[in-house]
Structure 1
């Protein structure tokens, strides 16, 4: 089996040597290990450092395109290389490379298509109590929305099988972690987790300035993903509020009207009709979205067939 270890980079000249030095040279069940760098518009000497340390597979973005795009291009390049397994890790040395053999083991044994390193973020010592609490709450909420039991939903330390690489299509620029889990669930891919520890942070996160910005971006991304993959549920839930309020006002109007309790309730009737029409429109959008979802699934099946044929030719 051929393994490609992908490392997205953005101004990582200081930490990249630490990561490259610790990468495993041999893994049981893996015949070839290829290290690949995706330089996402770095303005420092990241590329020069990578070349000096012997990295031959380097993808260069002339400007910063975001982690999601860097991951997408890295995965496509791995398929072009004929990879059977794709591991993604960070260039800031957050994830200890010693866990890579354990990460790929379920894929090597054909037991899983996606393996995620569980950092147990609610227990990480260098996280503040507030951050640990928010991580615990956020992970629980995310699991509920995504329909998955993955303990650490935002961990970027992952291994993908060939089938997962062919089936997953990244559509977000900010981060791919939630998107790929939702797709794995939707496409019945087998998901496993392994427990890992993390190294102390070497720098501040470049994805967000603080935990609250992280929550905001992740929340927006989560809503967008849920809408993309579950449009009927999204608009059904959205229509419930105006429907319940409109129904309550309509019942109130009927009560006053049939019991001759006086006039002046026309406002209730008008508002109830507006709310009920709004609910109907939202539900209608859900029906349209569900039809578009079916069309997207057909397109993805066609794309999978084309990608598989191209992979088999290259292999």
Structure 2
């Protein structure tokens, strides 16, 4: 049983050593613990610091590609390295490394596919009142879209089983957190939460430059996920609403027409007819999108089968390599 703890980083050379020092070297029920750093285009030597501290795997992006891309790169590398469980944490030391064992325990016991670290948003002293409000509202929306009970949907501190990682396909370019949960909920994966400890942020977030920007991007991600997984409800519902609104001016025209004054209200008939046509077209778009969604499910099933075949081939290749042994835990570098 191998656990790989991945850390997406952007200019974290200063805080990364502290984060690495706090990570567990051993976890009950796990045979091998390895670390993976994803350097997302840093210009402060983050990758070099990771190697100096004995990190087992380092993935480097030539330029900054964003948190979602860094997360995807990390998961792909972890799967290629044979990880049975993947834990994602931050490089700024926000999350308590000692809680990783609590994160992976439900997966080890077969109780969950994905485990989210709940930061206790409503009572967390490190969050401002506005951030607490936004977290509660956002988590409530994600719970509705995913059909799950996750009180801290945007927490990046999470554990993922190998099977879940193979079945999740992150499509957003902003943040993977909500996209992953909505996909997992729609794919009927078992999602659990465990309380985790947090520390005060060492620096402002590099994920978003302002609260309105964060709200906008998160809203777009949720809307895309909703239309992708519930196209009939999204488009047919919208089309029906437009058509219903279109009936109002048509009924108005008919009322005046029965009163003998229809010629003076043709604009109501034109407007209502246009809205009816628009509503019908939107509903048809929903039917087409539903067919596309069905085709996407088939493609995702084929992708999972392909990934499992690649796992089998990689395992066979590793077995053929003479003298191959599991990597040991990274060294703890003493302070100068």
Which residue number in structure 2 is paired with residue 193 of structure 1? 193
The CA deviation at 1:217 is 1.1
Cα gap change, 1:50 to 1:262, in 2 (>3 Å): closer
TM-score by length of structure 2 reads 0.91
Matched, 1:166 2:171: no
* Distance in 1 between residues matched to 2:200 and 2:250, nearest whole Å: 59
The CA deviation at 1:215 is 0.8
1:79-228 equivalence runs, <5 A: 79-228=79-228
The CA deviation at 1:100 is 0.2
Which residue number in structure 1 is paired with residue 231 of structure 2? 231
Gap runs ≥5 in structure 1: none
* Distance in 2 between residues matched to 1:262 and 1:169, nearest whole Å: 56
The CA deviation at 1:250 is 1.5
TM-score by length of structure 1 reads 0.97
Q: Residue 240 of structure 2 contacts residue 280 of structure 2 at CA under 8 Å; is this kept in 1?
A: no
Alignment length (residue pairs): 315
Gap runs ≥5 in structure 2: 316-336
* Distance in 2 between residues matched to 1:271 and 1:133, nearest whole Å: 41
* Distance in 2 between residues matched to 1:29 and 1:275, nearest whole Å: 61
* Distance in 1 between residues matched to 2:210 and 2:175, nearest whole Å: 16
- Runs (4 or more) in structure 1 with deviation over 4 Å come to none
The CA deviation at 1:41 is 0.4
Q: Report the secondary structure of 1:290's partner residue.
A: helix
Cα deviation 1:5-44 (Å, max 9, x = unaligned) = 0000110011101110011111111000110011000000
* Distance in 2 between residues matched to 1:186 and 1:69, nearest whole Å: 22
Instruction: Please give the root-mean-square deviation of Cα atoms over the aligned residues, in Å.
Output: 1.3
The CA deviation at 1:249 is 1.5
* Distance in 2 between residues matched to 1:128 and 1:160, nearest whole Å: 29
Q: Residue 103 of structure 2 contacts residue 194 of structure 2 at CA under 8 Å; is this kept in 1?
A: yes
Cα deviation 1:79-105 (Å, max 9, x = unaligned) = 111111011111111111111000000
Which residue number in structure 2 is paired with residue 78 of structure 1? 78
1:53-64 equivalence runs, <5 A: 53-64=53-64
Which residue number in structure 2 is paired with residue 294 of structure 1? 294
Q: Residue 83 of structure 2 contacts residue 162 of structure 2 at CA under 8 Å; is this kept in 1?
A: yes
* Distance in 1 between residues matched to 2:314 and 2:262, nearest whole Å: 80
